[in-house]
Amino acid sequence: MPADTQILIASDRDVVAARQQGRAVALRAGFSMSEATLIATAISELARNIVSYANQGSVTLRPVHRSNGAIGLTIVASDSGPGIADVTLALRDGYSSSGGLGLGLPGVRRLMDEFDIVSRAGSGTTVTVTKWLP
């Protein structure tokens, strides 16, 4: 199985680099152009959240292979920023603490098949999402 790719995120340039690498890894894993674009869009949102709220962090691209034959791509977006005080609120459509459209996290959840978020105020946020090959 291909190794993980970790991309350090510290500026808006890194957001573009992360989604471009994510698209390339997704295409190599066998995803269609359309699915790879969904994945790249999710990475763009997650990486931007890191820059906007935590200044820096990382995005890890992890090709996954289950024993039942399922192939997928897991993305881990992690930072040691201020964390999210109310995760339920942050996952609500239209809610934004930054003046954005409030579609970032709930949108990412719609784009991907699996979504998990761990965040504690003061100790950072880790969002783990997976898309499975249909």
Partner 1 sequence: MQVPILKQGGVLIATIQAALSDADLLELRTALVQQVVRYRSSGVIVDVTAMDVMDSFASRTLLEISHMIRLRGAATVIVGIQPEVAFAMVQLGLTLEDIPTALDLEEGLAYLQQKARSIN
SS3 4: coil
Q: How far is the CB of 54 from partner 1 (least distance, A)?
A: 16
Q: How far is the CB of 60 from partner 1 (least distance, A)?
A: 19
Q: How far is the CB of 131 from partner 1 (least distance, A)?
A: 12
Q: Which two tokens stand for residue 29?
A: 């894993």
Is the CB of 101 or the CB of 121 nearer to partner 1?
101
Give me the residue label for tokens 């269609």: 32
Is the CB of 49 or the CB of 58 nearer to partner 1?
49
Length of the chain in terms of residues written: 134
Q: Which two tokens stand for residue 13?
A: 């340039």
Q: How far is the CB of 49 from partner 1 (least distance, A)?
A: 10
Q: How far apart are CA 88 and CA 45, in angstroms?
A: 18
Residues binding partner 1 (CB under 8 A): 12-13, 15-16, 19-20, 23, 33-34, 36-38, 40-41, 44-45, 48, 93, 100-101, 103-104, 106-108, 110-111
CB 129 within 8 A of CB 115: yes
